[in-house]
């Protein structure tokens, strides 16, 4: 089943901003999920669902309208 998935331009812009500032984000949020909205980190933590919930509450937006990324520490062993 194929669904029509439309991702907001804001999400792409915020994701691009996060990638451009990735070294700074690694220094501050290594091994954490971050939510980025309007080019600002608005929530961070180790639990994805909690970060999404905090971001939705802070912005009043649906979680699908907020960029969420995992910030790799670079030294993780699974």
pLDDT band of 72, cuts 50, 70, 90 = very high
User: Residue 26: left if φ>0, alpha if ψ -120 to 50, beta else—which one?
Assistant: alpha
Q: Is residue 34 packed enough to be buried (19+ CB in 10 Å), middle (13-18) or exposed (0-12)? A: buried
pLDDT digit string (tens) for 13-38? 999 999 999 999 999 999 999 999 99
């Amino acid at each position: 089943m194929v669904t029509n998935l439309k991702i907001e331009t804001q999400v792409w812009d915020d994701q691009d901003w996060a990638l451009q500032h990735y070294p700074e984000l690694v220094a501050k949020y290594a091994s954490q999920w971050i939510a980025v909205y309007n080019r600002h980190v608005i929530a961070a933590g180790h639990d994805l669902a909690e970060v999404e919930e905090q971001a939705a509450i802070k912005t009043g937006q649906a979680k699908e309208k907020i960029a969420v990324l995992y910030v790799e520490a670079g030294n993780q062993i699974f």
